Homo-oligomer: A and B are copies of this chain.
Amino acid sequence: MYSFKNDYSEGSHPRILNALLETNLVQEDGYGEDQFSQKAVELLKERIGRTDVDIHLLSGGTQTNLIAISAFLRPHEAAMAASTGHILGHETGAIEATGHKILSIEAENGKLTPSDIQAVLDGHPDEHMVKPKLVYISNSTEIGTIYSKHELEDLSDFCKKNKLILYMDGARLGSALTSKENDLQLSDLPALVDAFYIGGTKNGALIGEALVICNDSLKEDFRYHLKQKGALLAKGRLLGIQFLELFRDNLFFDLASHANKMAAILSEEISKANFQFLTDSPSNQIFPILPNALITELEKDYSFHIWEKVDAEHSAIRLVTSWVTKEDEVAAFLERLKSGLR
Contacts and interface: CB of A to CB of B under 8 A. Distances in A.
A235 B221 contact: no
A9 B28 CA distance: 5
A38 interface: no
A337 to B, nearest CB: 19
Given A63-B231, A94-B228, A127-B92, A76 B221 contact: yes
8 contacts: A5-B29, A8-B30, A11-B26, A14-B24, A17-B20, A31-B128, A76-B228, A130-B228
B6 A25 contact: no
Interface of A: 2-3, 5-6, 8-12, 14, 17, 20-21, 23-31, 59-67, 70-71, 74-76, 78, 89-94, 96-101, 104, 127-131, 201-202, 206-207, 221, 223-235, 237-238, 324
Nearest to A23: B11
Given A97-B99, A235-B11, A89 B201 contact: no
A162 B59 CA distance: 34
Contacts of A28: 9-10
5 interchain residue pairs of minimum CB distance? A63-B230, A76-B224, A11-B24, A93-B101, A93-B130
A201 to B, nearest CB: 5
Contacts of A131: 221, 224
Contact of A75 (B31, B129, B228): B228
B97 A129 contact: no
B207 A233 contact: yes
A10 B26 CA distance: 6
- Residue with the highest number of chain B CB atoms closer than 10 Å, among A26, A92, A221, A237: A92
A28 B8 CA distance: 8
A128 B90 contact: yes
A230 B128 contact: no
A75 to B, nearest CB: 6
